[in-house]
Amino acid sequence: MPLLTTRDGKSSFYDIPLLVHKELSENPGLYPPFPVREHPTAIVVTPTKGLADSIIHEAEEFGLSGFSYCHDNITKYRNTDLVSSICSCTKWQLICVDPERLATPEWTTILRDKEFLKNLVLFCVEEAHLIRSWGPQFRPYFEFIGATARGFNPEGVSLVGLSATCAPVDPLRRKKGVSKYAKILEYLQSGRKAVIRVNTIPDCYDIYEFLWNHVPPGTSPLHRMQMYHSLCTDDYNRETFDLIDSDSKLQVVIATVAFTLGINRKSILDSISFGFPLKDGQVGHPMLFVEELRLYQRKILITLKQ
C-alpha cells in the first residue's frame, strides 16, 4: 500500500500500467514477448463521485478512456447493456466505482466475466485509509472491498491501496480581537493558488465572507474565490474544478470533505487545512507549508486549563 504525499502522482499507479499494456498490445513487434492484455482495464474504487471525475479527467490527458459507474452515468446508459459494455473492455480502460455499487449484482456479473477478468490489470482502492474510518458505521460497504478484491481477482492482478493527506504544523495562536481566519491571509499574499480545506459548510461560508472583505483593490472577489461543497450545484462544482487550471484570476478554492479526497489539480500549489487533526501514519508534502487551525471557544480553553 503506497503512502504518497499530496500531488506526488498517485494516479500513476493505475495510469502507467494501462499505458504500458496498451503500447505493448498495439506494437508487439517492437518489444520482447511480454505477457500483455489486449484490452487492458483497471478498476479504481473511489469514495466520491468528484474524485472519480478527477481521476478520469487526468487519465484522459494521457489518452486513456474512463467511466464513472455512478447514478448519473447509469441513468445516461439505461437504454444500453452497460454491464456488457464494461465486460467487453473495448470502450473504457479505467472504471471507477464506489464501494456500494461494487457490491451490487451487476458488479458480481462483471467480476465473474471471463473476458473482463482476462483483461483486468489491477484493482485499486483510492483513499484506502477510509476503509477503517468510514467502514464500521458511516459507509459499511467499505469493509467489504477487501473480500471482493480477494474473492474475484484472478492471479496476476495487482491489488493496490493508495492514500495521502496534508500534514499540518503548529496550531494557530491568535491575539484577542483578531479574526480566527486572519492567519490564512499570510499564506495567500504570495498569490499562489491554494485550496482551503474545511470540515463544515458553515466554515466554508465564513471563510469566504472573511476573505471577501480582504480581496486586494481592483480585484473581483467573484473571480478570485470559489467554493466547492455539496450545496453547490453539480454544474458549479464542475466549473470550479475546470477553472482551477484554466483561469489565472482564480486563486482560492474553499472546499469541504469532497475536495479533500484526492481531487487534485496541477495549479494548486498550497493546501491549508482548517480544523483537520493529523493522525499517526498520515503523510504530508514536504514542499507545501500547510497550516492547521485548531479553534476553541474561550470558555472551553478556561475549562481545559482548570
**Residue 257 CB coordination number (10 Å):** 16
Q: Indicate whether 135 and 276 sit together in one domain.
A: no
- Single-letter code of the amino acid located at 4: L
Q: Is position 5 within any domain?
A: no
Cα–Cα dist 4/165, whole Å: 8
Q: Indicate whether 16 and 155 sit together in one domain.
A: yes
Quick one: which H or E segment has residue 197?
Answer: strand 194-198
| Residue-wise pLDDT tens digits, 161-181 | 887 653 443 434 444 556 778
| Residue-wise pLDDT tens digits, 2-32 | 445 445 556 677 788 888 888 888 887 777 7
Residue 204 near residue 274 (C-beta atoms within 8 A): no
pTM recorded for the entire structure: 0.56
Burial class for 30, CB neighbours closer than 10 Å (0-12, 13-18, 19+) = exposed
Number of H helices and E strands in the chain, helices first, is: 15, 9
User: Residue with C-alpha cell 453539480?
Assistant: 234
Under the banding of pLDDT at 50, 70 and 90, the label for residue 237 is confident
Q: Indicate whether 133 and 254 sit together in one domain.
A: no
Q: Indicate whether 192 and 275 sit together in one domain.
A: yes
pLDDT at 205: 85
Tell me the residue length of the chain.
Answer: 306
Q: Is position 288 within any domain?
A: yes
Give residue 260's domain range: 182-305
Quick one: which H or E segment has residue 272?
Answer: strand 270-274
Q: Indicate whether 69 and 140 sit together in one domain.
A: yes
Q: Is position 4 within any domain?
A: no
Asked which of 102, 131, 161 is the last residue of a domain, the reply is 161
Q: Is position 145 within any domain?
A: yes
Could you write out the three-class secondary structure of 27-79?
A: CHHHCCCCCCCCCCEEEEECCCHHHHHHHHHHHHHCCCCEEEECHHHHHHCCC
Q: Is position 166 within any domain?
A: no
Instruction: Identify the CATH number of the domain in which residue 289 sits.
Output: 3.40.50.300
Q: Indicate whether 152 and 43 sit together in one domain.
A: yes
Q: Indicate whether 154 and 190 sit together in one domain.
A: no
Q: Indicate whether 238 and 268 sit together in one domain.
A: yes
| Residue-wise pLDDT tens digits, 247-265 | 888 889 998 876 556 556 7
Q: Is position 173 within any domain?
A: no
Cα–Cα dist 180/263, whole Å: 27
Q: Indicate whether 231 and 268 sit together in one domain.
A: yes
45: Cα within 13 Å, side-chain hemisphere: 28
Q: Is position 87 within any domain?
A: yes
Q: Indicate whether 25 and 154 sit together in one domain.
A: yes
Q: Indicate whether 30 and 104 sit together in one domain.
A: yes
Q: How many domains does the chain have?
A: 2
From 181, 195, 183, select the one nearest 261 (Cα to Cα): 195
From 264, 185, 192, select the one nearest 228 (Cα to Cα): 264
From 255, 261, 266, select the one nearest 52 (Cα to Cα): 261
Tell me the β-bridge partners of 125.
45, 161
Asked which of 161, 194, 222 is the last residue of a domain, the reply is 161
Q: Is position 215 within any domain?
A: yes
Q: Indicate whether 109 and 186 sit together in one domain.
A: no
Asked which of 97, 127, 161 is the last residue of a domain, the reply is 161
| Residue-wise pLDDT tens digits, 205-231 | 888 888 888 887 777 888 889 998 888
